[in-house]
Amino acid sequence: MTPSTVPAPATGVRSLLPGLVVSAAGVAAATGVNALLPAVSPLMAAVVLGALMANLGARPAALRPGLSFASRRLLRLGVVLLGAQLAVRDVLALGLPVVLLVVATVAVTFSGTWWLGRRLGLGRDLSLLTATGFSICGAAAVAAMNGVTDGDEEDVVTAVALVTLFGSLCIVALPLAQGFLRLPAEGFGVWSGASVHEVAQVVATAQTAGTAALATAVVVKLTRVVLLAPLIAGVGVLRRRTAGPQAGGKPPVVPLFVAGFLGMVALRSLGALPAAWLEPLRTAETLLFTAALFAMGAAVDLRALTRTGRRAVVLGALSTALVSLVALGGVLVLTPGG
């Protein structure tokens, strides 16, 4: 080893610090926004704050290495910790019919949204990210899929904005529809969990029908989250088949962070994670996703979003209608007298 190579690691770490410090400040600001406006999730607040910082000219070149690290490495660590929320026994307790309903809703929503996006003339990556967010778990799923596709940050921000907008509308629309449908509490919980985009939005929607609806909705929603791993792995397989040698070889069949996600699910299911760890792990996961999305937002040119804005909103509306109607149809079939 020559003397010139010795300080390289330290230099690399130092280059990350400015961007990571700014990302941490963005996390603190986004958390503050969420505390003042609970309807605004920290993830969405982080995207907006990052985009504002960049578009107001406050993103010097020194920040870029740390922001890039946050948008990729911290994101993937957040996906791994997301697995700690899930226990297979909770999914199985729903019963096979409800599990099949969730799988069918995710499959139809994902494929239908991707197809609609392409028919509307939207890009492949934006269609894929939107389909993932609407069918699985909102902003976290969008960010996780981008860990495989490595798409443009503008596409990530657009997809996150869509799940935030239309998921928020569901908080109002589904309880109003429940007034006409008069589903039993558990049925409304299944409908909310299977169709509303973000976990926080599911909680806000289902709690209007009581604790039984809320408990069912959360488990159904987490069952959708379980499907994030096979979905990302499937996209990874397709990318592996189409990757050219000029891209540095083929991507792994199952990305390492997806394997980590599945490992955390296994640990939770086997009872190897102490109950006292679950809340700190959930907090850490949220902070990591918030930092990653702030960094992604900081790479966005807001003017570029206007090129696809109207068509993207149409896609969001169609996808929300699709997931809501497919899930509701399944609930009506499963509900006696429904």
pLDDT digits (tens, 9 = 90+) for 24-46: 999 999 999 989 988 777 877 88
Please state the rounded mean pLDDT for residues 279-301.
Answer: 85
At position 54, the amino acid (one-letter code) is A
Phi, psi values for residue 77, rounded to 5°: -65, -35
| pLDDT surpasses 70 at 171 | yes
Q: What is the pTM of this model?
A: 0.74
Evaluate the CA torsion angle 131, 206, 79, 253 in order and state its sign: negative
Percentage of the chain modeled with pLDDT above 90? 32
Amino acid 11: pLDDT: 53
Find the mean pLDDT for residues 2-13.
Answer: 52
Backbone angles phi, psi at 261, to 5 degrees: -60, -50
pLDDT band at residue 153 under the 50/70/90 scheme: confident
Please tell me what DSSP assigns to residue 198.
Answer: S
Give the pLDDT score at 141: 86
More confident residue, 28 or 11: 28
- Whether 7 shows a pLDDT value over 50: the answer reads no
Amino acid identity for residue 18 in this structure: P
CB atoms within 10 A of CB 283: 11
Residue corresponding to tokens 């609407």:
134
Q: Interhelix angle for 153-181 vs 309-334, to 10°? A: 40
Computed over every residue of the chain, the mean pLDDT equals 84
Torsion of CA 282, 288, 289, 294, to 10 degrees: 140
Neighbour-count burial for 25-60, b at 16+ CB within 10 Å, e otherwise: ebbebbbebbeeeeebbbbbbbbbbbbebbeeeebe
Eight-state DSSP code of residue 250: P
Average pLDDT estimate for 81-102: 88
> With bands split at pLDDT 50, 70 and 90, how would you rate the model's confidence at 302?
low
